[in-house]
């Protein structure tokens, strides 16, 4: 009976690794199956009811269900539902307590007196509700700033507006950001999107564990969030495995189905993590929470996994370039690779939203989600490589027009920071224009120009572009082949980039 009681509220088990084929899930049997089905259905209905509660209350009011007699009937109805759910919990607990496979999982999860390494190896044999996964590494907490430091009027992007307009836009920006704005920027934080991708995430996680010996860990951040991470260790199987590639995913990317397999297949060790609010990670992907998340991941890699900063490469794809660039700026890492990354969120946001919303969009981005990657890259002085997708449909302001790719602006900002002599006041008109024109060309076109008879300044500009950026013919979301990534890593560590 004690075990039945404990199993009533124990975590849901999804898979026992290497027990059947990769797609096979743990299958509840008998009473556990039916109890779990009722509880899951009730939970789904409850979530729908919460989101539609205003309409339900209006319906109840119009039908007169607030009378004493109808209230009694509703109480009897919900009381019956409550008894059914309670009985379902009892059935599920009894079913789990009589299932040897679930009992073995539960004992492994609750046997915390064992050596931590042995304990983690035991629970990593299972895939289960990540909310019940123990925090095995965390960074010291830090004091959070008060509301008065972050109130809706603490920042303003439209300082030239009259006070009444400025105040109105600030209030609207606060409301928009905390309702739908952040979700539009990071669709992967939306629960519906995660539910639709659940099967793909489950299979991707199984591949990382069963095929690549991935190790899952819950990492605690300084602001109290929990970050879902996956580590693949190739130090014993490949010379390249001595280098750890920390992968920072896009706005709808997860380590289970994102860029992590590229460095793994290329022979490098890799550490993937999910943004705050994505899949098993808690919180929301505001810039400050992103900083704390990648900072915790970096400290986990250094202090727990044993990688020195000079053996770590930050690999950011799309919007993940923000976290990657921030970490590269704050840690003496081996290098930074940015794939399909833009320079600044604001131009992309303005391009997608109605022009009449321009002031509101600017306020939202600059005050709450200011992902200015170019500013971070300009301050970073270590080895860096940019990968530009020639058919990118996401970060081009005009689809199919390479000259509007915001990665071009990221490269120009990088060159201006590292080679200020290229852009001088005296030669601004004669030097900047050709550099901007050459950036809009593809690799093959620039190579042909470099072989032709061009003057020394133009040849230098062409060489600078080729030093920091390479093209890959694909759309935004196409996975980067491991051969291309390996070539980028070779360029990153070559002497000419240091």
pLDDT for 434 equals: 72
User: Taking 70 as the threshold, does the pLDDT of residue 274 lie above it?
Assistant: yes
* Cβ-Cβ contacts under 8 Å for 238 (sequence gap 6 or more): 267, 268
Q: Which residue has the higher pLDDT, 277 or 85?
A: 277
When pLDDT is cut at 50, 70 and 90, the band that residue 430 belongs to is very low
pLDDT for 66 equals: 63
Q: At what angle do helices 428-439 and 406-418 cross, to 10 degrees?
A: 140
Rounded to 5 degrees, φ, ψ at 26 are: -65, 130
pLDDT for 31 equals: 82
* Cβ-Cβ contacts under 8 Å for 214 (sequence gap 6 or more): 205, 208, 230, 231, 232
pLDDT for 341 equals: 97
Report angle CA 103, 105, 111 to the nearest 5 degrees.
Answer: 95
Identify whether the C-beta of residue 424 lies closer than 8 Å to the C-beta of residue 452: no
Please state, for a pLDDT cut of 70, what percent of the chain lies above it. 94
- pLDDT averaged over every residue in the chain: 89
What does R_g of the chain's alpha carbons equal in angstroms?
A: 26
Q: pTM here?
A: 0.89
When pLDDT is cut at 50, 70 and 90, the band that residue 51 belongs to is low
Over the stretch 293-307, which tens digit does the pLDDT of each residue have?
999 999 999 999 999
Over the stretch 282-296, which tens digit does the pLDDT of each residue have?
999 999 999 999 999
Given 3.40.50.1820, 3.40.50.720, 3.90.226.10, 3.30.420.40, which CATH number is that of 187-497?
A: 3.40.50.1820
Distance CA 21, CA 26 (A): 11
Q: What is the 3-state secondary structure (H, E, C) of the chain?
A: CHHHHHHHCCCCEEEECCCCCCCCCCCCCHHHHHHHHHHHHHHHHHHHHHHCHHHHHHHHHHCCCCCHHHHHHHHHHHHHHHHHHHHHHHHHHHHHHCCHHHHHHHHHHHCCCCCHHHHHHHHCCEEECHHHCCEEEECCCCCCCCHHHHCCCCCCCCCCCCHHHHHHHHHHHHHHHHHHHHHHHCHHHCHHHHHHCHHHHHHHHHHHHHCCCCEEEEEECCCCCEEEEEEECCCCCCHHHHCEEEEECCCCCCCCCCCCHHHHHCCCEEEEECCCCCCCCCCCCCHHHHHHHHHHHHHHHHHHCCCCHHHEEEEEEHHHHHHHHHHHHHCCCCEEEEECCCCCHHHHHHHHCCHHHHHHHHHHHHHHCCCCHHHHHHHCCCCEEEEEECCCCCCECCCCCHHHEHHHHHHHHHHHHHCCCCCCCCCHHHHHHHHHHHHCCCHHHHHHHHHCCCCHHHHHHHHHHHHHEEEECCCCCCCCCHHHHHHHHHHHHCHHHC
When pLDDT is cut at 50, 70 and 90, the band that residue 426 belongs to is very low
Over the stretch 325-358, which tens digit does the pLDDT of each residue have?
999 999 999 999 999 999 999 999 999 999 999 9
Domain boundaries, the chain: 2-132, 187-497
Mean pLDDT of 311-325: 98
Q: Determine which of 139-148, 232-241, 297-306, 372-381 has the lowest per-residue pLDDT on average.
A: 139-148
Distance CA 382, CA 333 (A): 8
pLDDT for 429 equals: 47
pLDDT for 64 equals: 66
Please state, for a pLDDT cut of 90, what percent of the chain lies above it. 64
- Three-state DSSP state, 436: helix
Over the stretch 456-490, which tens digit does the pLDDT of each residue have?
888 888 889 999 999 999 999 999 999 999 999 99
Distance CA 387, CA 471 (A): 6
């Amino acid at each position: 009976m004690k075990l039945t009681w404990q199993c009533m509220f124990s975590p849901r088990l999804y898979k026992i690794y290497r027990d059947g084929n990769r797609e096979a899930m743990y299958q509840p049997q008998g009473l556990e199956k039916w109890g779990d089905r009722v509880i899951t259905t009730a939970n789904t209905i409850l979530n729908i009811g919460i989101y539609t509660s205003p309409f339900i209350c209006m319906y109840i009011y119009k039908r007169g269900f607030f009378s004493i007699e109808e209230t009694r009937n509703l109480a009897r109805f919900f009381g019956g539902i409550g008894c059914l759910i309670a009985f379902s919990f009892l059935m599920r607990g009894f079913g789990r307590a009589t299932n040897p496979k679930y009992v073995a999982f539960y004992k492994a999860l609750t046997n915390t007196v064992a050596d931590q390494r042995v304990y983690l190896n035991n629970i990593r044999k299972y895939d289960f509700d990540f909310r019940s996964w123990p925090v095995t590494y965390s960074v010291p907490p830090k004091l959070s700033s008060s509301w008065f430091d972050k109130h809706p009027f603490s920042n303003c992007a439209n300082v030239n507006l009259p006070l009444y307009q400025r105040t109105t836009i600030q209030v609207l920006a606060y409301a928009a950001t905390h309702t739908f704005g952040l979700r539009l920027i990071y669709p992967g934080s939306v629960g519906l999107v995660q539910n639709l991708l659940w099967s793909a995430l489950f299979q991707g996680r199984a591949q990382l564990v069963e095929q690549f010996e991935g190790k899952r860990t819950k990492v605690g951040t300084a602001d109290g969030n929990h970050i879902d991470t996956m580590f693949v260790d190739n130090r014993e199987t490949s010379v390249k495995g001595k280098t750890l590639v920390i992968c920072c995913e896009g706005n709808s990317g997860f380590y289970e189905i994102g860029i992590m397999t590229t460095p793994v297949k290329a022979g490098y060790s890799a550490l993937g993590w999910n943004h705050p609010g994505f899949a098993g990670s808690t919180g929301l992907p505001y810039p400050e929470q992103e900083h704390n998340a990648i900072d915790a991941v970096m400290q986990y890699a250094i202090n727990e996994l044993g990688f020195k900063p000079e053996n770590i490469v930050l690999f950011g794809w799309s919007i993940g370039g923000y976290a990657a660039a921030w970490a590269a700026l704050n840690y003496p890492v081996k290098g930074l690779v940015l794939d399909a990354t833009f320079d600044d969120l604001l131009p992309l946001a303005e391009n997608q939203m109605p022009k009449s919303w321009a002031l509101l969009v600017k306020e939202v981005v600059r005050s709450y989600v200011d992902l200015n990657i170019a500013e971070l890259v300009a301050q970073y002085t270590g080895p860096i490589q940019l990968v530009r997708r020639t058919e990118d449909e996401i970060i081009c302001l005009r689809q199919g027009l390479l000259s509007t790719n915001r990665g071009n602006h990221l490269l120009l900002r990088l060159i201006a920071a590292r080679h200020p002599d290229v852009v001088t006041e005296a030669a601004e008109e004669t030097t900047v224009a050709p550099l901007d024109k050459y950036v809009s060309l593809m690799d093959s076109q620039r190579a042909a120009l470099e072989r032709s008879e061009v003057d020394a300044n133009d040849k230098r500009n062409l060489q600078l572009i080729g030093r920091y950026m390479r093209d890959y013919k694909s759309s935004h979301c196409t996975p980067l082949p491991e051969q291309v990534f390996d070539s980028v890593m070779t360029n990153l560590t070559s002497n000419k980039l240091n």
